[in-house]
Structure 1
Amino acid sequence: MNYKTIIYPFLLLLFISASCGKKLHVEQPTNGTIEISQLDIPKNFEIVINKDFELIGNGFKAEDLIQFRSLSENSMFTIPIKEIKGTQAILPFSEKIQETSYDLTLVRNDKSIHLANVDVSLIFNKDIPEKEGMTVKGTVYSKGKGVANVIVSDGVEVTSTDANGIYYLASAKKNGYVFISVPSNYEVATKNTIPQFYKSLNGETSKSEIKDFELTSVNNENHTLLVMADMHLANRNDDLSQFQKGFMADAKALIAKTSGKVYGLTLGDQTWDAYWYSNSFALPEYLNQMKDLHIPIYNTIGNHDNDPYVANDWLSENAYRKTIGPTYYSFNIGKVHYIVLDNTVFNNNGGSIGVVGDRSYEARITQNQLDWLKKDLETISDKSAPIILAMHIPLHTNPNINNYNYYLKNSKDLVANLEGFSNIQVLTGHTHVNYRIESPTLMEHNVAAVCATWWWTGRSGYAGNHISKDGSPGGYQVWENTGKDLTWYYKSIGYDKTYQFRAYDLNNVHITADKFTPKANDTYKAKVPTYAKEYATKNSKNEILLNVWGYEPNWKITVTENGKPLAIQRVHKPDPLHIISYSMQRLNVNANPTDSFVSSSTSHLFLATASDAKSTIDITVEDRFGNKSTQKMVRPKEFSTSMN
């Protein structure tokens, strides 16, 4: 990773903005046999697709080769000069040319000379007329023809393409990019898992620039979406090994057996800002870990995906924009309209070059995003169309049974913008727990973490499992969408779709220092009751505790003993397996558990009381779509870190 581009993103942006659009007039020195003079190559090099293009300068020869070396990837190719016309060296278009930055080198026999570094833009139609006040223009096209009614935006203004696929945008170029809302039944090219739905702008408003977008026709009316929250990859706690052997293996297997198109959507905190510099692991390294999924993945920024050396929300996001793309945007897959928002305002007091700040942030959506969101939603005429809105921090707090509040400072403003739509699904992360909150028109899915408890429980020498703060297995959510019909389930890493709950025989759940912290000294053994909470006391009430991590109010839970249904009570308390998988493991090595990582109380727990300590219990959990998960619980049932 080039850390200078992270440390100095704003300076880099200023440099690019100042140099873009200007031509380089360079007198090249002789290196023995090659002499090129009056070289005139634009820094922003526009190449019309399938058309010859030229390099301007004196001294080119017909046998010369022009070498294109990518400055962002380990790739290189050469293009021979087609002909020389005065000071013009004519080159044929090559399919190898991509929209990226290149180092251009002239190669003549065994000699070479550097010519210039250029940022290549591929142009579909260079003859779009100028319009007063329009600073960005271009064509959205597929198979050589313009595509009409595609939404185009710079994050402030929103427009659409005409019948010929042409658009104009009166952009102040503040955000530094233009993007399209990829239309249904189309895709854009994917580069290192990132859909290329956006193009960088040069910052000059004195003249317009052309930014074209190529679409590929696909059938994604029916599609599967993998929703991944809180990976926190940082090259610590054996996280990369756990990630590859656990999540990546699980996701690859699911993709391999899934028919139809598959996409990914992250919910933020792909990385861990505190370790960007100390562990040399930031956003580029995250992408390198994901590359083998081979599906388009749309990303959401989280509070931990900001540059910890920068104490400014906008500037701290420059590394993200440079590596991954816009922090808010929309796209369409099938009949679903997807919206991604950035709802963390990163303050990071004390951050400066070489100094990690306090990494503080606010849970708030900026007004410019709300203004843009309103314009984006105005482009959707069908108010019954499913809206899936992704952001990092939850809209609502984790409920205590049915009691909850808004989480974001301006949750009400966001909800007001969504009025009029009847099917809104909000996807969030951040909490590392599972919960669902539903109203007549809006449902929030707070999705537990891929990293579970920040990779601690699966760390070498610890519990050997992968479990989140609420007892949910580390995992991700899977959406199977058919037209306007949306279905979903929580996918536990390493388990199949039917694994939706865990059952405890509370007669055997007794957390003691002797059993669960045998290596701890007396000081840390004494702390066991504090972290074990109610489970520090022996329970002989024949109670059955269920953790149903994907629970929603319309799910059906049945517990029977010898064919007789047992009364079920929903409760709010911590999960005992997480306590012995994290807090007891830390105490066992004479270390205090991190407050943010300890077990949190959850309301997707259910309690039933059996009549006998050794009876077999039959449990069925049925979700809103009729999918059933069952278990025949033979008691006494063991309580250990390896239990299911």
Structure 2
Amino acid sequence: MNRREFTQNLLLAAGALTLQPLSRLAQAQNTVPIPPLQNGETQSFVSGTISGVRGRRKVALPQVRVSNGRDIVLTDRLGRYRLPVAVGDIVFVIKPPGYALPLNAQNLPQFYRIHQPQGSPPLQYEGVAPTGPLPISLDWTLQEQVEPDEFRVLLFGDPQSRNQEEVGFLTRDVIADVAGQRAAFGVSLGDEAFDDLSIYPNQNRAIATLGMPWFNVVGNHDLNFDVPDRTHSTQTFKSIFGPTYYSFDYGSAHFVVLDDVAYDGIGSAPPDARKGTYHAELGARQLAWLQNDLKLVPREQLVVVMTHIPLISPGGNKKADLRDLAAFFRLIENRPHCLSISAHTHFQEHMFLGRDAGFNGAGEHHHFIHATPCGSWWTGMRDEQGIPHTTMRDGAPNGTSFLNIKGNRYSIDFKPARRPADYQMNIYAPDEVARTDIAKTEILANVFAGSKKSRVEMQIGDGAWRAMQHAPRPDPAYAAAKAAQEALPKNGGARKLPDIIPSPHIWVATLPENLPAGTHLLRVRATDMWGRTYEERAVLRVA
């Protein structure tokens, strides 16, 4: 069943005809109670037309979804829609498959219109300029494009540049490294900035050199901290990137960007009166929108959900979990093909969430906490290029990933910054082992993108392959680098590496007791959850 047939069947099942008034259609689709308007805001309506360019012809596009962040309506056969809008809403198009959104000079998609007639309140960083009244007709024209069922998406975790020097690090270490790589589009998973939101334009221009549409997720370091609550905490972000939650189709997949950073207000983080705390929460309005969005997505279609803060804290801190996780799970747990991706932690981990986490769907939900381009916030000693090594706390290098999609299936490739694509692990083995110590000598492998579904094995010489055991612990090289830096006066003139954590992707095995004296080639191979195998080698001597 294609999307058009699915949508027609859905409307007919609800007793709706495509020719009925679209405001009634929006009401019919909203089965989750929508919070009432607040602060005396009034509601009006906007209408417009969605068109597409096919070759030299401009045609009306029916059944395109348009949203105000609460309701979702479909265009009629003439491409027309009508939608309720309140002050503060952002009206946006949900990109249909086979069509491209307009882009600005920084390759940022222009699929939205902010409705803030008076603009933002006074803020430290510039917010939304006064938009004035709604236009008579709010129209979009999309360009037809070929979108195969098999494609790649380039993923950045936190770019998190605090100044122009760090934009330079990002450009030389990461952007130049993946430039020329084929991808349909890219996504940054939040913390585009590091509190100084004036960095957005320069960083956007750097990322734009990749030459692909670039979507963005809001993070906790993208906030306007000088506001009392969540209401105006993303005004600068919205002025540059648009809505903080939205969705779009590309090829065979449906992508959903969510805003799970709930700001508690200035002064909520004493003694720093300039900032406030935050927590992970979607909120009733966003959940209502998400339900409406997913109702129009076929059950067998791949859904990729992207947030900044992980659904569940990998450190086991329940207070850091998404507060409305149960409600979120209820919306996705009937879908057999759903992946969620976050960043935020500055280390990489694959989580598989089942009954213990409150997920009641079949099997487990795969949540991927993505690596960061800035690694450990550009800390650590600088290399020969003048760039901090910025190894992440899990011992993995900073980097990016490619999300590979084929139909409703996916796989993920981690790409370490300025290193070959097949550099996927480090082996920790002594250069020399005394024969009396063989039985108690451990070999460690840090498989950067490994998970509990990985199979990791070790071979010495021409011997048999032996299974290694998954055993999270601190990465030895990271611990040594941190200790060496801290032994230097003023940390060697560089920012200090962050605290050590148990790496979630360490495997361990002991040497065989009958290993003879001599020099031996040691090989470790890791097979990931998609059946791809990577190998690394080391040499050790038994004295």
User: For this structure pair, what is the TM-score category when the shorter chain's length is used for normalisation?
Assistant: 0.7 to 0.9
* Residue identity matched to 1:190: L
In 2, Cα distance between equivalents of 1:464 and 1:343: 30
- CA gap of 1:404–1:305, structure 2 versus 1, over 3 A, is closer
Residues 1:164 and 2:78 are matched in the alignment: yes
SS of corresponding position for 1:282: helix
SS of corresponding position for 2:82: strand
In 1, Cα distance between equivalents of 2:194 and 2:303: 29
- Deviation string 1:517-550 (CA, Å, 9 cap, x unpaired) is xxxxxxxxxxxxxxxxxxxxx9993321100121
Displacement, 1:406? 8.0
* Residue identity matched to 1:557: V
The runs of 5 or more residues in structure 2 that have no matched partner are 1-20, 25-42, 118-130, 355-362
In 1, Cα distance between equivalents of 2:134 and 2:241: 27
2:253 and 2:303 in contact (8 A); partners too:
yes
In 2, Cα distance between equivalents of 1:565 and 1:302: 44
Displacement, 1:320? 0.6
Residues 1:573 and 2:497 are matched in the alignment: no
**Greater alpha carbon shift after TM alignment, 597-606 vs 383-392:** 597-606
Displacement, 1:208? 6.8
- Deviation string 1:306-332 (CA, Å, 9 cap, x unpaired) is 123334322121111011110000001
Displacement, 1:142? 0.9
Residues 1:373 and 2:306 are matched in the alignment: no
- CA gap of 1:248–1:395, structure 2 versus 1, over 3 A, is same
Partner of 2:14: none
Partner of 2:522: 617
Displacement, 1:587? 3.9
2:22 and 2:83 in contact (8 A); partners too:
no
Alignment counterpart, residue 163 of structure 2, candidates 235, 242, 267: 235
SS of corresponding position for 2:484: helix
* Residue identity matched to 2:538: M
Alignment counterpart, residue 448 of structure 1, candidates 338, 362, 371: 371
In 2, Cα distance between equivalents of 1:206 and 1:283: 27
Alignment counterpart, residue 393 of structure 1, candidates 309, 313, 317: 309
Displacement, 1:378? 1.1
Partner of 2:324: 410
SS of corresponding position for 1:190: coil
In 1, Cα distance between equivalents of 2:287 and 2:487: 46
In 1, Cα distance between equivalents of 2:22 and 2:537: 72
In 1, Cα distance between equivalents of 2:521 and 2:535: 13
Partner of 2:398: 474
Partner of 1:308: 225
SS of corresponding position for 1:421: coil
Alignment counterpart, residue 139 of structure 1, candidates 49, 64, 68: 49
Alignment counterpart, residue 584 of structure 1, candidates 484, 488, 493: 484
SS of corresponding position for 2:184: strand
2:310 and 2:322 in contact (8 A); partners too:
yes
In 1, Cα distance between equivalents of 2:169 and 2:477: 19
Displacement, 1:472? 1.1
Aligned-residue CA RMSD (Å): 3.2
In 2, Cα distance between equivalents of 1:555 and 1:268: 28
Displacement, 1:252? 0.3
In 1, Cα distance between equivalents of 2:432 and 2:194: 38
Alignment counterpart, residue 296 of structure 1, candidates 213, 226, 229: 213
Matched ranges for 1:422-433 at <5 A: 422-433=336-347
Matched ranges for 1:180-219 at <5 A: 180-191=93-104, 192-201=106-115, 203=117, 209-219=136-146
Matched ranges for 1:249-268 at <5 A: 249-253=176-180, 255=181, 258=182, 262-268=184-190
In 2, Cα distance between equivalents of 1:620 and 1:405: 38
SS of corresponding position for 2:92: strand
SS of corresponding position for 1:477: strand
1:137 and 1:211 in contact (8 A); partners too:
yes
Displacement, 1:412? 1.3
- Deviation string 1:114-155 (CA, Å, 9 cap, x unpaired) is xxxxxxxxxxxxxxx999986111111012111111110010
1:188 and 1:196 in contact (8 A); partners too:
yes
Partner of 2:120: none
Displacement, 1:196? 0.9
- Deviation string 1:44-102 (CA, Å, 9 cap, x unpaired) is xxxxxxxxxxxxxxxxxxxxxxxxxxxxxxxxxxxxxxxxxxxxxxxxxxxxxxxxxxx
- Deviation string 1:410-451 (CA, Å, 9 cap, x unpaired) is 211211122321111000000011111225252101011110
SS of corresponding position for 2:540: coil
Partner of 1:248: 175
* Residue identity matched to 1:465: H
Displacement, 1:567? 4.3
1:151 and 1:159 in contact (8 A); partners too:
yes
- Deviation string 1:226-267 (CA, Å, 9 cap, x unpaired) is 11111111127x4233211110111204x2xx3xx5210111
Displacement, 1:405? 10
SS of corresponding position for 1:456: coil
What percent of counterpart residues are identical? 24
Displacement, 1:556? 2.1
1:507 and 1:543 in contact (8 A); partners too:
no
* Residue identity matched to 1:199: R
* Residue identity matched to 1:216: Q
In 1, Cα distance between equivalents of 2:447 and 2:397: 11
Partner of 2:121: none
In 2, Cα distance between equivalents of 1:589 and 1:460: 18
SS of corresponding position for 2:428: strand
In 2, Cα distance between equivalents of 1:405 and 1:490: 29
Partner of 2:147: 220
TM-score, normalised via structure 2 length: 0.78
Residues 1:606 and 2:507 are matched in the alignment: yes
In 2, Cα distance between equivalents of 1:165 and 1:558: 57
Displacement, 1:174? 3.1
SS of corresponding position for 2:179: helix
Number of aligned positions between the proteins: 464
- CA gap of 1:464–1:271, structure 2 versus 1, over 3 A, is closer
Residues 1:632 and 2:542 are matched in the alignment: no
In 2, Cα distance between equivalents of 1:508 and 1:230: 39
Alignment counterpart, residue 194 of structure 2, candidates 262, 266, 272: 272
- CA gap of 1:565–1:300, structure 2 versus 1, over 3 A, is same
In 2, Cα distance between equivalents of 1:598 and 1:131: 53
2:376 and 2:498 in contact (8 A); partners too:
yes
* Residue identity matched to 1:161: T
Partner of 2:351: 437
In 2, Cα distance between equivalents of 1:463 and 1:141: 47
- CA gap of 1:334–1:458, structure 2 versus 1, over 3 A, is farther
